[in-house]
Structure 1
Amino acid sequence: MDAITFRFLMSLAASQNLEMYLMDVVTAYLYGSLENEIYMKIPEGLKMPEDLKSKAKEICSVRLQRSLYGLKQSGRMWYNRLSEYLLSKDYVNNAICPCVFIKKSSSGFVIIAVYVDDLNMIGTQKEIDDARTHMKEEFEMKDLGKTKFCLGLQIEHFQDGIFVHQSNYTKRVLKRFYMDKATPLSTPMVNRSLDVEKDPFRPCEDNEEVLGPEVPYMSAIGGLMYLANCTRPDIAFATNLLARYRYLSDPHKARSQTGYVFTIGGTAVSWRSQKQTLVATSSNYAETIALHEACRECVWLRSMTHHIQESSGIVTEKEPTKIFEDNSACVTQLKEGYIKSDRTKHIPPRFFSYTQELQKNQEVDIEYIRSSDNAADLFTKALPTTVFKKHMFTVLECVVYKTCEKKRLYLFQGEIMLGNRISKVLHLSPGTSDELCVLSNKSRLKEPSELYQNLMY
């Protein structure tokens, strides 16, 4: 199970008022059955048969009857064993999300999301209790109760929503790289041009220092990437940019940046910030490439969410997915068809054709949005403080777990220590009236505009 699917399942749990429980399989890899013959050296402590005691252990071997930790195929064998059992209990899954098993009954449903030996159970209480009983009958299990920690995410359950954060992980990363007492800044990176002449990561000049091998640069980037991929989309672009300089060279190749964020039911579940592999000769070309990549992600998201919802008996409307694009020329070309001109004739038709076909089949609906209102800019460029905070609030506002008919939203400010200051990460959860309230463990704010005064790094 990947992080995107897990975020969607958490949003589904909140929007449908479902329960979430976590179970751990004890020595899961030992349950797998081997499909081929594997031999190993005789381990220390194993008693030799009488007829082999006279022979040296070095010339003897033993054949494995079961899967064992350390084998390359152990994970696959465990998955086969688990899926075989769950399918025999009338669970269903498919190739779109093979680690998600769903069982529906007349009174509800249960979803079992598998990550190695961790089983997240999401659904109605009775069906979850039945699933826990079935698992304990077949495997030795640890019942960990309500899901509070999974895949490195801290999960807090409230009456009206779910709060997901990584405060403990963030503190460990800061302490590991001696940044726990650093002075925070307003944005993750400076706002300046990154062209060849003004690139702030240019080769060393006079009175400048280059990081030496004693600085664990790549390890620090890896720590940030886990945050950016799980709960901190606001640092995705800065982390992606820094990752390019892991060899202390000048990688500027005039390539554009692709950035997008998808929300499902108000929840930000998928986002990306990545340098394009092609050199685009115009902004229209670059936007066309980015839109092509976003549509590919959109197709998988639609398939995954529809499968889970339909298998669970949740009624959904199959409407086109709206994708907002801030390049008017790109939107016009996609809606009116491929326009051949001196500026576009070199663009490979596949970038247009795929998106146009999705739009024709009513799977996506490309709409124009002003650049100043496009939150995807958070993933493509360095922004001034005011613009960054505006888009950051928009994206974090999308991390919302809400019911379809309720309009009251509670904003929980999760505190994460960054340097010697407090950073407040915003997540929304559902309520019951038309009032928009902000809840903090220190204050209660009434106006959303006051949030900008509380956002800091």
Structure 2
Amino acid sequence: MWGISAKHGDVPSAYSKAFTESKYEIHLRILDGVTVTQETLDRIGVKEPDQLVLLLGRILYGLKHAGRLWHQLLCDTLLKIDFVQCIHDPCAFYKADEHGMTIVGVYVDDLLITGTTVERIDQFFTDMKVLELKDLGIVEKFLGMRIVWTKEGGYCIDQEQAIEEVLEKHGLAEANPVRVAISEVQVIEGDNELLKQKAVRLHRVPTIKDFQCLVGSFLWLSRCTRPDISFAGHRATRRSPAPTMQDYKLAKNIARYLKGTKGLKLHLREYSEPQSPIRIVSFSDADFVADNEDRKPVSAGV
């Protein structure tokens, strides 16, 4: 956007920068091995170290409300420097004036920053020194996505490395690729048996946890850079509570499709002909009432 590559920012130890809420007091016991002098005990007014507790001043990782208080601190900080929180996406902030615009995307403590000029982006890092925001330079990887700034003024985004890690984790790195993510699967005897809760010794068979982990990876991939597996991935997750071997075959088919297409990229750039209408082309194919549950034609991809 605007011919300027986005920068990546990170807030180290973000949660611990947020203060506790005044209406809730959190007390901590002294850890074993911590020595408290008798002078300190006398000044506080206690006789034994085990009677001493600490009042928590800043948030610790692991507390249930840590994430909320950190996000609240970040939002307050951005609002103080005249940023506006987007109504449709609360994780997006923007600042616009007569000199240009700055846009910030937030994911917990990772930030993506872009703007109409390089100076505006650099000024943002200066303004955010109060939270010790680190400038990690031009974004190259964000949330498992590889991001490449192109000479044409756009981005190429892919998750090839993430796909390879998923395949390796589930023993599918050497699987044969297929051309479609979902197709009609022939049901054979034994396919309707539920997957095991735990792996059986000497027999490497997929378990329910294996299935849930695999289809969960599909949801993340489809949400980020692979919308082409959205339907197939969501269809597989419908069976997560009680998956069968047939469901696992569907999940494995999606993984094989990803292996053959792991190099696909999303290319995001400014539309070169703003005066012309955007032309969208789609292709579809379908079966005829093959779904045994609701008879919807769903076997082919779109």
TM-score for both structures, normalised by structure 1:
0.48
* 1:39 counterpart (27, 32, 37): 27
Number of the residue aligned with 2:218:
224
* SS of 1:67 mapped into structure 2: coil
**Structure 2: which amino acid aligns with 1:176?**
K
Number of the residue aligned with 2:107:
115
Contact 1:114–1:120 under 8 Å retained in 2: yes
1:260-298 superposed Cα distances (whole Å, 9 cap, x missing partner): xxxxxxxxxxxxxxxxxxxxxxxxxxxxxxxxxxxxxxx
Number of the residue aligned with 1:55:
48
CA spacing shift, 1:44–1:133, aligned 2, 3 Å: farther
Number of the residue aligned with 1:425:
264
Residues 110-119 or 99-108, more deviating: 99-108
Contact 2:105–2:113 under 8 Å retained in 1: yes
Is the aligned partner of 1:248 residue 2:240?
A: no
Unaligned runs of 5+ in 2: 200-205, 251-255, 274-302
CA spacing shift, 1:201–1:42, aligned 2, 3 Å: farther
CA spacing shift, 1:429–1:223, aligned 2, 3 Å: closer
* SS of 1:234 mapped into structure 2: helix
Distance (whole Å) between structure 2 residues aligned to residue 167 and residue 18 of structure 1 = 25
> Per-residue deviation at 1:86?
1.9
Number of the residue aligned with 1:64:
56
Is the aligned partner of 1:105 residue 2:97?
A: yes
CA spacing shift, 1:146–1:61, aligned 2, 3 Å: same
Number of the residue aligned with 1:132:
125
Distance (whole Å) between structure 2 residues aligned to residue 112 and residue 151 of structure 1 = 15
> Per-residue deviation at 1:201?
5.8
Number of the residue aligned with 1:265:
none
> Per-residue deviation at 1:116?
1.1
Number of the residue aligned with 2:161:
168
* SS of 1:120 mapped into structure 2: strand
Distance (whole Å) between structure 1 residues aligned to residue 76 and residue 272 of structure 2 = 46
Distance (whole Å) between structure 2 residues aligned to residue 156 and residue 428 of structure 1 = 10
* SS of 1:19 mapped into structure 2: coil
> Per-residue deviation at 1:249?
6.0
Contact 1:204–1:210 under 8 Å retained in 2: no
CA spacing shift, 1:32–1:433, aligned 2, 3 Å: closer
Contact 2:7–2:114 under 8 Å retained in 1: yes
**Structure 1: which amino acid aligns with 2:215?**
I
1:309-345 superposed Cα distances (whole Å, 9 cap, x missing partner): xxxxxxxxxxxxxxxxxxxxxxxxxxxxxxxxxxxxx
1:226-269 superposed Cα distances (whole Å, 9 cap, x missing partner): 1122211111222222222331369xxxxxxxxxxxxxxxxxxx
**Structure 1: which amino acid aligns with 2:139?**
T
**Structure 1: which amino acid aligns with 2:27?**
Y
* SS of 1:235 mapped into structure 2: helix
1:178-221 superposed Cα distances (whole Å, 9 cap, x missing partner): 111111112112236xxxxxxx568837xx87643422111111
Distance (whole Å) between structure 1 residues aligned to residue 53 and residue 101 of structure 2 = 48
Distance (whole Å) between structure 2 residues aligned to residue 432 and residue 82 of structure 1 = 33
> Per-residue deviation at 1:128?
0.6
> Per-residue deviation at 1:94?
4.6
**Structure 1: which amino acid aligns with 2:31?**
P
Distance (whole Å) between structure 2 residues aligned to residue 80 and residue 38 of structure 1 = 19
Number of residue pairs the alignment of both structures matches: 246
**More helix, by proportion:** 1
1:30-52 superposed Cα distances (whole Å, 9 cap, x missing partner): 21121121112223454425253
Unaligned runs of 5+ in 1: 1-12, 193-199, 251-381, 383-415, 435-457
**More strand, by proportion:** 1
Distance (whole Å) between structure 1 residues aligned to residue 148 and residue 68 of structure 2 = 32
Contact 1:41–1:61 under 8 Å retained in 2: yes
Distance (whole Å) between structure 2 residues aligned to residue 40 and residue 163 of structure 1 = 48
* SS of 1:101 mapped into structure 2: strand
Number of the residue aligned with 2:12:
26
Contact 2:225–2:265 under 8 Å retained in 1: no
